[in-house]
Amino acid sequence: ASTGANYDMVLTERFTRTAYDTVDYEFTIDDPSTFTDKITAIVPMTKVAGQIYEYACHEGNYGMVNILRGERMTEQRESEEGN
C-alpha cells in the first residue's frame, strides 16, 4: 500500500499486448474509504529501441555520457600535467 492508502485498498494491474510493439498498462484502485468509486487508468506503452533503465533509479542514466566525458577530461588533464 502507498502512503495514505488504507489496508482495505485493492490495486489491480493488467498488462495487455494490443499490437506487436504496444502494450497497455491498466491499473484500477479500489479504495472505498478514500474514493466514492474505483479509479482506472490505461497507459499505452510502445516498444522503444535501445536499453531500458529502471525508472526508480535514473539519477545517472541520462547523464552517464556527461559523467564519463567529465572523468575522461580529468584523466586527460592529469596525464598532460604529468600526475
**Cα–Cα distance, 76 to 69 (Å, whole number):** 10
55 and 45 in a common domain? no
Using one digit for the tens of pLDDT, what is the confidence trace for 5-32?
Answer: 778 899 999 999 999 999 999 999 999 9
For residue 30, the model assigns a pLDDT of 96
Cβ pair 46, 30 in contact under 8 A: no
64 and 31 in a common domain? no
Total of domains in the chain? 2
65 and 79 in a common domain? yes
The range of the structural domain enclosing residue 66 comes to 51-83
59 and 23 in a common domain? no
CA angle, 18 then 41 then 20, to 5°: 15
For residue 69, the model assigns a pLDDT of 86
Q: Please tell me the least confidently modeled range out of 16-20, 33-37, 39-43, 48-52.
A: 48-52
Using one digit for the tens of pLDDT, what is the confidence trace for 54-83?
Answer: 666 555 566 777 788 888 999 999 999 886
61 and 39 in a common domain? no
69 and 35 in a common domain? no
